[in-house]
Amino acid sequence: MVPLNYYLVLSAVLFAIGTAGVFVRRNLITILLSIEIMLNAVNLTFVAFGRALGAADGQIIVFFVMTVAAAEAAVGLAIVISLFRHRESLNPDRFTALKW
């Protein structure tokens, strides 16, 4: 049985990869994918701790996180679609209308 720390480290690495993706990539869809990576890293942490503490609460929180992620992906992609229709580009740097 692999110790708990290994799961936490893996989750931290995945979270950092997701964060790097949000900063580095200039494509709205890839940014949303990086957010999904971050959410999954957090799910892994929850399940690992739930197992370590012997409670099913970790899995239930994961259930809710997944539902929220699904809702967020749906609405986020709808926004991306309407932005694309407006500006024909998926690069967030192009949407500068609110800059001072």
By CB under 8 A, the residues from 24 to 83 that bind another protein are 24-27, 29-30, 32-34, 36-37, 40, 43-44, 47-48, 50-60, 62-64, 66-75, 77-82
Contact flag: residue 87 with another protein (CB under 8 A):
no
Contact flag: residue 13 with another protein (CB under 8 A):
yes
Give the nearer residue to another protein in terms of CB position, either 51 or 95: 51
| Rounded Cα distance, 11 and 7, in Å | 6
Can you list the alpha helix ranges (DSSP code H) found in the chain? 4-24, 28-53, 57-87
| Rounded Cα distance, 11 and 96, in Å | 34
